[in-house]
Amino acid sequence: MACTGAEYPAFLLPYDPRLGYTLTMIKISFGSGGVVLPDWIHVDLDPACRPDVIADATRPLPFATATADFLHSEDFVDQLDLDASQRFLHECRRVLKPGGQMRLLTVDLRRLVDMYVEGDERLLELWETGVGLPLQTRTLGEVLNEGMRRCGHRFVHDEQTLRVLLNRAGFHARRVDFNHSEHPELRDLDLRSPAAALSMYFECWPTSS
């Protein structure tokens, strides 16, 4: 049964009487969209996705400060406008423990635009196999426009813009490879490979201040 944001902080006590065991590691996935990661707490606004926690991630997150060991978000920040993305990242920084890590994936605007400018027909193939929404003209120009506006996109980030937001939120960040991580808990979580999507992959950790 999913908890509301108001109920969920009790779940994050060191010992959870409902589960009957001690929680030694807290891993939270935001905007999970129905994807289930074993041993992770899933947060989504849509009850139909059957998350563990129903919450609006554009508002203060229903978790205590310095609670989580690991955070995860794939293809979620592009669903937010720039201000909401900044608020979300600030909240992630608050929730994450000082030594914690966040894995963050989102559409790479640079790669999208570069493929359009270079006339790379693989962009059309990626749209038709990965997105599947019908196109009227099947041109790269239409893919570029639809890629910016469809699929719930509110702001598609390039690396530079995302790094500015992360820095302002109090994160260091390094770009990493698909499904690779120094942390076993963050390996093999990525759904969208470079061959099938235009994703960029980051691992982020709190600054010392």
Whole-number average pLDDT of the chain: 88
Domain of 124, in residue numbers? 109-154
> How sure is the predictor about 150, in pLDDT bands with cuts at 50, 70 and 90?
confident
Residues 188 and 117 in one domain: no
**Cβ neighbour number for residue 177 with a 10 Å cutoff:** 9
Report CA-CA distances (Å) from 130 to 116, 125, 134, 153, 167. 17, 8, 12, 15, 31
Query: Does 8 score more than 90 pLDDT?
Result: no
Domain count, the chain: 2
- Whole-number pLDDT of residue 15: 46
What six digits make up the tokens of 70?
């690991």
Query: Does 170 score more than 80 pLDDT?
Result: yes
Average pLDDT over residues 71-80: 94
Q: What is the CATH number of the domain that holds 45?
A: 3.40.50.150
Residues 122 and 149 in one domain: yes
> How sure is the predictor about 10, in pLDDT bands with cuts at 50, 70 and 90?
very low
